[in-house]
Amino acid sequence: MDTLTVRPAETRSRRRPALAAPRQLPAFTPDLAAEMAPMFARVQHVITPMEWPAYAPLIKAINDLKRERNAVILAHNYMTPEIFNCVSDFRGDSLQLAKEAARTKADVIVQAGVHFMAETSKLLSPDKTVLIPDPRAGCSLAESITPADVRMLREVYPGVPIVTYVNTSAAVKAECDICCTSSNAVKIVESLGVPRVLLIPDEYLAKYVQTKTKVEIIAWKGHCEVHERFTAEDIAAMRAADPGVKVIAHPECPPEVIEASDFTGSTAAMINWVTTNRPRKVALITECSMASNVAVEAPDVEFIRPCNLCPHMKRISLENIYEALRDMKYEVTVEPSVAAKARRAVERMVNLTN
């Protein structure tokens, strides 16, 4: 976090000037309702007719501003349905969003996610203007470890490579050898060809990876405040209520939750599992918005929503995305000497998974 700078910029886009005056949001007129009816038809089982008149003018204004600014919105799978389905250009898990940030031709990236994701975009797209709609959108895992902690680990475990989960600040990544995400952690650990690695900062992801590899994993004690709250008793209760239910969990969950599940994977892998296997009923052991977002693609599947909200992801709204694009705020930058080292760790991962 100490290298993240956010600034409400008059405008930071070198190629696209700021709009001369703050624009007015369009009203929800019959014409606007008619123009946006096809979009509403696609999302009406996750957005209510009561909500739509409030969302539609913002959606229209955001999509117009994106064209004016030559901007793209990268939305994490935990975004609310109106963001995920109606304004985002690319959706995905952390790895997919990082890859998209590296290849986009847009001048401006709006990160609809948390700020370690915005920093990763900036590392991979240093010439682009990267905006985060709310700079307070953090992550309990990123907060759990500092660069000084990583330097201490290097002293305690000399010669042992350090793999950092992408859910860390750029300053922490700069101290590590290689990055990983929940979708490639096993592959990254095994790619190093050593008997022992440190995998920081998520203790539960590290324990999950340990069940999949012979490489000895040394963990840190960081936890995701959303996933650590699920318990094996929650899953037993779901199975007791409906023995046919399929349970799929994110690897940030505690080990006993993962053991009690039918499948474990990144948010993208979870979506893929549901859309491919089409279970009659499924419980997604992860953040609340995932069920709504997968439901658009799999309307025939019934979702149990055990549902823990990520308060950081939920800081991102249509309102602040609109303000971000209107006022070109808040720009995310990474101090160059830190960025050079952090980029190496992220690029090493991206190259291994391409």
Query: Is the Cβ of residue 65 or residue 310 nearer to ligand 13P in the bound state?
Result: 310
Q: Is 323 in the site for ligand SF4 (CB under 6 A)?
A: no
Q: Is 287 in the site for ligand SF4 (CB under 6 A)?
A: yes
**Closest distance between ligand SF4 and the C-beta of residue 114, in Å?**
5
Query: Is the Cβ of residue 104 or residue 120 nearer to ligand 13P in the bound state?
Result: 120
Listed in sequence order, the residues at least 6 apart from 228 whose beta carbon sits closer than 8 Å to its beta carbon are: 204, 252, 253, 254
Query: Is the Cβ of residue 32 or residue 307 nearer to ligand 13P in the bound state?
Result: 307
Q: Is 336 helix (H, G, I), strand (E, B) or coil?
A: helix
CA atoms within 13 A on the CB side of 345: 26
Q: Is 167 in the site for ligand SF4 (CB under 6 A)?
A: yes
CA 240 to chain centre: 32
Please classify residue 352 by burial: count the beta carbons closer than 10 Å to its beta carbon, then call 0-12 exposed, 13-18 middle and 19+ buried.
middle
Q: Is 77 in the site for ligand 13P (CB under 6 A)?
A: yes
**Closest distance between ligand SF4 and the C-beta of residue 313, in Å?**
6
Q: Is 264 in the site for ligand 13P (CB under 6 A)?
A: no
CB atoms < 10 A from the CB of 168, how many? 32
Q: Is 119 in the site for ligand 13P (CB under 6 A)?
A: no
Structure tokens at 225: 């405040």
Distance, in Å, from the CA atom of 26 to the CA atom of 24, rounded to the nearest integer, reads 6
What does each C-alpha distance from 198 to 140, 178, 180, 220, 353 come to in angstroms?
A: 19, 11, 12, 8, 20
**Closest distance between ligand SF4 and the C-beta of residue 48, in Å?**
25
Query: Is the Cβ of residue 237 or residue 309 nearer to ligand SF4 in the bound state?
Result: 309
Chosen residue from 86, 141, 199, 217 binding ligand SF4 by CB under 6 A: 141
CA 227 to chain centre: 14
Q: Is 252 in the site for ligand 13P (CB under 6 A)?
A: yes
Residues 174-203 that bind ligand 13P (CB under 6 A): 181-182
CA atoms within 13 A on the CB side of 236: 4
Q: Is 94 in the site for ligand 13P (CB under 6 A)?
A: yes
Residues 209-238 that bind ligand SF4 (CB under 6 A): 224-226
**Closest distance between ligand SF4 and the C-beta of residue 188, in Å?**
18
Structure tokens at 22: 């703050």
Q: Which does 94 bind (CB under 5 to 8 A by kind): ligand SF4, ligand 13P, none?
A: ligand 13P
Which residue matches tokens 């993208």? 268
Structure tokens at 85: 């389905």
Q: Position 60: which residue type?
A: K
Print the binding letters for residues 113-132 with ligand SF4: x by CB under 6 A, - otherwise.
-x------------------
CA 159 to chain centre: 31
Interface residues with ligand 13P (CB under 6 A) are 77, 93-94, 167, 181-182, 224, 250, 252, 266-267
Interface residues with ligand SF4 (CB under 6 A) are 114, 139-141, 167, 224-226, 252, 287, 310, 312-313
